[in-house]
């Protein structure tokens, strides 16, 4: 059977258009996205520790995860923090938590590399335990110990942040935090306690300055928990139930941690929500 050239050309053109259209349709079909991840590292605050309960699922990382997940239903939380962690143990291992990779940092690096492109958020809080051991109740603080702890933070934190960024890549949102000052509760014990509160405030400023600088140096957002807790605000005075007028920063510690009720430095549920909200303000959904 003979076919006219014009008819053959039209048929070929139609076949090409159908093929191209089919390919375009196939490429336009959405691929299964799968889960995305939020990786949290840190100390007992990242674990959600509360006195009498131990590590809980009501800490700031859990609350932050719930807020982030509301905008990303496929988000998963990889919770790597360890109560008692220091910058040294997070970097090198050796704290009470065990990781197949040897340390909290190595575990994070492996997960970030294995899920490159799927991790949306990384948060970290670390450094308080490097200096917290230097407190001596209401009698004072070991300044030599505190200086050594801050030097350790200055040495370890940049390494930790650099390795996290190298493993996670540039498309991850990274954030870390400053710390509130639990020793402000000493204000309630009398004149000696007030002096300790002032002294620890100064030391906390130094520690938070180190942490903030190192975070910004590695392009981590800074969740300023110290600011959220009004840690610098010795005025105005506000009423504290059962006590009377106290500086705002002292009231915040009593209201948002267990320091004034159980002499425990950890945040209570209200305090953990403040931490979560402070982080959330730095992260895009």
pLDDT band at 95 (very low <50, low <70, confident <90, very high): confident
Pairing of strands 75-79, 244-247: unpaired
CA 255 to CA 257: how far, in whole Å? 6
Q: Could you report the per-residue pLDDT of 147-185, keeping only the tens digit for each?
A: 999 999 999 999 999 999 999 999 999 999 999 999 999
Verdict on whether the full-model pTM lies above 0.75 = yes
Q: Which residues pair with 38 in a beta bridge?
A: 77, 121
Place of tokens 């953990």: 272
Q: By C-alpha distance, which of 154, 135, 168 is closest to 88?
A: 154
Question: What is the predicted pLDDT for the residue at 75?
Answer: 98
Every domain of the chain and the residues it spans: 33-280
CA 105, 107, 112, 118 torsion-angle sign: negative
Question: Does CATH number 3.40.50.1110 belong to domain 33-280?
Answer: yes
Helix (H) or strand (E) holding 212: helix 191-217
Mean model confidence pLDDT for the chain: 90
Q: Could you report the per-residue pLDDT of 31-67, keeping only the tens digit for each?
A: 347 999 999 999 999 999 999 999 999 999 999 999 9
Give the burial string for 197-232 (b: 16+ CB within 10 Å, else e). bebbbebbeebbebbbebbeebebbbbbbbebbbbe
């Amino acid at each position: 059977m003979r076919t006219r050239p014009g008819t053959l050309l039209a048929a070929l053109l139609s076949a090409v258009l159908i093929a191209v259209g089919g390919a375009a349709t196939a490429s336009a079909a959405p691929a299964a996205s799968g889960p995305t991840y939020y990786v949290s590292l840190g100390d007992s605050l990242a674990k959600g520790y509360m006195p009498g309960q131990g590590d809980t699922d009501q800490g700031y990382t859990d609350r932050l995860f719930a807020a982030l997940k509301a905008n990303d239903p496929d988000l998963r939380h990889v919770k790597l923090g360890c109560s008692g962690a220091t910058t040294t143990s997070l970097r090198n291992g050796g704290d009470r938590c065990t990781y197949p990779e040897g340390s909290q940092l190595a575990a994070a690096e492996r997960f970030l590399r294995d899920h490159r492109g799927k991790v949306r958020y990384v948060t970290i809080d670390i450094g308080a335990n490097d200096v917290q051991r230097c407190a001596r109740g209401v009698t004072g603080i070991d300044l030599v110990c505190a200086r050594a702890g801050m030097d350790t933070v200055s040495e370890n934190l940049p390494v930790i942040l650099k390795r996290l960024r190298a493993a996670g890549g540039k498309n991850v949102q990274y954030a870390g935090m400053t710390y509130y000052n639990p020793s402000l509760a000493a204000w309630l014990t009398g004149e000696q306690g007030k002096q300790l509160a002032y002294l620890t405030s100064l030391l906390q400023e130094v520690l938070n300055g180190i942490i903030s600088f190192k975070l910004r140096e590695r392009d981590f957002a800074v969740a300023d928990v110290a600011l959220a807790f009004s840690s610098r605000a010795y005025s105005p005075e506000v009423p504290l139930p059962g006590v009377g007028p106290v500086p705002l920063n002292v009231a915040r510690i009593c209201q948002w941690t267990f320091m004034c009720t159980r002499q425990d430095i950890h945040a209570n549920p209200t305090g953990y929500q403040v931490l979560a909200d402070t982080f959330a303000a730095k992260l895009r959904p």
